[in-house]
Amino acid sequence: MEKETDKIISTNDAAELLNVKPSTIHRYVKQGKLKPVYEENWHIDTTKLFYKEDILSLKKQLTKPGITTGEAAELLGVHLTTIALYIKQGDLKAEKKLYRGREINFISPEELERFKSEHIESRKKRRKEFYDKETGFAWFQSFKDRKGNTNNRILLDDNEQPYLATGDGKRIALNQIHKKGYKPVTPILDKPYKTKRGFAKFSFKEDELFYQVIEFFYKHLGPKNMKVKKKQGNILVDVKPDFIPEILDEKIYNFLSESITSGEAIKRLDGILINSNLEIISVAAPSELKQRIKDEAEERRISMEDLVIEILNNYYDL
C-alpha cells in the first residue's frame, strides 16, 4: 500500500512530472492552478510540497488532447481556412475539447493520418490540370494530322483523363500525339501572368461553339491567365480581365455573353473587353498569416489577392 508520504512530492519532482521548470510550478501556484500541501513550509524546506494526485490531474489538463487545427494546417501545408473547410464538409473529423480554459477543435493523430492518406494523397493523384506543361497541350485543343485534317481534339474520358480523339475514331495518349504526327492547329503560347484583379467566370456546355471559345482564350490569354475545370457536366472557365484585340463572330459573342456567370464581356469595335466584378474588402491580418499567403502566392506565381479570393471561393463553395 502506498504510504501517505509517497503521495506528496517536492517542487522539483512536480516540475519533472510535468516536464517544466520549477519556476513554472511557482507560476502555477500564483495562478491558482496548483495548491501546495503546506503554504508555511516554504522558508523551512526551501520547497513547496504537492499532492502527486494534483500534479497528475494538472498534467492531464495541460496535455493537448490531439492536434489543433493550426498544427494540422502546418503539417498538411495548407491554410487554416482550408482545414476549417475540410471539417465543415465532413472530410476531416475534429472534436471540440476543453483545453486551458477554452473549447478548441482537436484532431486525433490517427484521424489526421487517415485523412492525409485517403484524401490529400488521393486528391493529388486525382488532380487534373487542364494544361500539360511537358507537352504544351490543353483540354479541348484541336490538332491537325499529316494530311492537314483538323477534326482531331483533346477530350476527356469518363475519369476526366485527357486523350486525343481523332477524326477516324481513335484514342491517342498525350505523350503519343507528336509521335503519331499530330500538331496543334494553334500552338498555346506561354503568355505572362496578367496582374489585373480577379477573374471573369464562364460556365459552358461542351459543344462546337465552346470549342471555338476555349481556343480563342488559349490563343490570346495563355494557360497562366486561365483556369479550366469540369463540374457537374459543365466546363467552368475563369479568365483574367483583359482587352482581346480580335473581333468575334456575332454568334460566338452572344454565346460567350450568355455563358458568363461573373464579370462581363463587352464588345468593342476592335475587340472584346473582359472584366471581373470585384469589389474591395478591407481586412487586417496578422503578419504571420500575410507572410504565408505571400509565400504561397509567389510559389504559385499568382497575386496575393487572387489567392485570397480562391480561398474564400473554396470556403463558400462558389
- Confirm or reject CATH 1.10.1660 for domain 67-126, answering yes or no: yes
Higher pLDDT, 85 or 213: 213
Cα dist. 229→113, 144, 206, 318 in Å? Answer: 28, 24, 12, 13
Equal CATH topology for 5-62 and 67-126: yes
Reply yes or no on whether the pLDDT at 186 is more than 90. yes
pLDDT digits (tens, 9 = 90+) for 15-62: 888 888 888 888 888 888 888 887 765 545 668 888 898 888 888 777
pLDDT digits (tens, 9 = 90+) for 240-259: 999 999 999 999 999 999 99
Candidate from 137-151, 176-190, 299-313 with smallest mean pLDDT: 299-313
Reply yes or no on whether the pLDDT at 280 is more than 80. no
Question: What local confidence, expressed as pLDDT, does residue 6 receive?
Answer: 66
Among 208, 273, 218, 221, smallest CA distance to 247 is for 273
Q: Which residue blocks in 166-286 are alpha helix, DSSP H?
A: 208-221, 250-259
CATH label, 5-62, candidates 3.30.930.10, 3.40.30.10, 1.10.1660.10, 3.40.50.1220: 1.10.1660.10
**8 A C-beta contact, residue 221 and residue 131:** no
Question: What local confidence, expressed as pLDDT, does residue 126 receive?
Answer: 46
**8 A C-beta contact, residue 153 and residue 169:** no
CA angle 134, 139, 143 (to 5 degrees): 85
Domain boundaries, the chain: 5-62, 67-126, 131-184, 200-275, 282-318
Q: What percent of the chain has pLDDT over 70?
A: 91
